[in-house]
Amino acid sequence: MSTKSKTAAGPTSAAAASLDHAYRGVRNAILSGQLRAGQLIPQVQLARALNVSRTPLREALRMLQSEGLIEAQANQPMRVARLTLQGVEELYAMRIPLEITALRLSIPRLTQDDLDDLETVYSVMGRHAARRDYVAWDAPHRSFHQAMTRRAGDRFGVTVGQLIDQCARFRRLRVSRMWSDETEEEHRLLLDACSSRDIDRATWLLSEHLSETAFALLRTVDPDYPADTLRAVVAPLSAPGDTPARAYHGLSKPAAA
């Protein structure tokens, strides 16, 4: 019985490892830009490069399709999901309220180790920002946002992480046009609010930070893009009369409930 169990477990474990390797390999290639938006998926070349068979690769592609990173139509080859203004707007319209809720749930549960980790990641971001190394800055920036919300629960973590990664595909193309020293100050204020357990201030700052990023991304492509969906989502999240600049510098506070 023991021998049979080991024999049965072997192929299953190997198949799971092969699938995970294929999934991570293709996903990283998409998020890093090695596979470009709209590009047809070169399945034969990918299978060879990742040293996997076509079966785990196809399953990995289906998983990535469910995440929105790959698109496929009947009788058409798979391709990397295109980046459209409507798609980016919808991503942020989903991400902003979900990440704010995750942050609200996380703050009371953050440990001192969690806060120390946030300080470390923030310092790494600062070093890359000082050199204007946007590629290197992106990974700790993603880690910073995920670390703030890590205590909300596993399902929140997975979904928020996927939305952050999908938003990053577009942000990576535009961040060098949008960079300012205020970017790091925004993260400093967020970290301080988390450290002081000020839930209302932290969630309000996050809503301003994410919504302004989203609007700035859209404006770099089309200054006249209406963004009605995004406006409808973020309108209830900001205090009346506040401007992003005042918010980021702590000159105004959330409206009383």
Q: What's the average model confidence in pLDDT over 148-154?
A: 95
- Kindly tell me if the per-residue pLDDT of 102 is higher than 60: yes
Does the domain at 85-248 match CATH 3.40.50.720? Answer given as no
Q: Percentage of the chain surpassing pLDDT 90?
A: 48
Q: What is the CATH number of domain 13-80?
A: 1.10.10.10
Phi first, then psi: give them for residue 242, nearest 5 degrees: -75, 145
Distance CA 215, CA 217 (A): 5
Taking the domains of the chain in order of start, what are their residue ranges?
Answer: 13-80, 85-248
pLDDT at 130 over 50: yes
Q: What is the pLDDT of residues 200-217, one digit of tens each?
A: 999 999 998 998 888 888
Q: What is the pTM of this model?
A: 0.76
Beta strand 79-80 pairing with 70-71: antiparallel
When the pLDDT of each residue in the chain is averaged and rounded to a whole number, the result is 84
pLDDT of 188 > 60? The answer is: yes
pLDDT at site 238 = 59
DSSP string, 108-122: GG--HHHHHHHHHHH
Q: What is the pLDDT of residue 61?
A: 93
Query: What does the pLDDT average to over 185-191?
Result: 93
**Does residue 117 contact residue 111 with C-beta atoms inside 8 Å?**
no
